[in-house]
Amino acid sequence: MSEMMRGLVSFPNGDLKLQDVPVPVVGQNRFAPHDVLCEVEYCGICGSDVHKFLAEESEKAKTKHVPAPVVSGHEIVSVVRAVGKNVKSVKPGDRVVHEIVTFYCGH
């Protein structure tokens, strides 16, 4: 059985549930050599997450290309736990801040 973590999961019908989800594993997807697995220490739920949750169906349709369910939150401080073989800029144990552009707020 894979290791689990807690995540605030957003479902296509707009429901949000705090539940256990599998911890991603470095090396098991098409980006494997460039993977960086981070353990989240702090995560903000920003305005774009709230806007998406409260949006009209026509607005939610704009993000249908994002596979659901999805774990919410994109303002993150974390510790690097594992890296793919091509990653040279960070190493396990490094503390990092994620700058993730969302489709909703564009920042």
**CATH 3.10.590.10 for domain 4-99:** no
> Structure pTM?
0.67
What average pLDDT does the segment 18-29 reach? Answer: 86
Residues linked to residue 96 through DSSP beta bridges, in sequence order: 78
CA–CA distance from 63 to each of 28, 68, 105, 106 (Å)? 25, 10, 12, 12
**pLDDT single digits (tens) 66-99:** 566 677 677 889 999 999 999 999 999 999 998 7
User: Residue 58's pLDDT is what?
Assistant: 59
User: Residue 1's pLDDT is what?
Assistant: 45
**pLDDT single digits (tens) 45-67:** 777 667 666 766 655 556 555 56
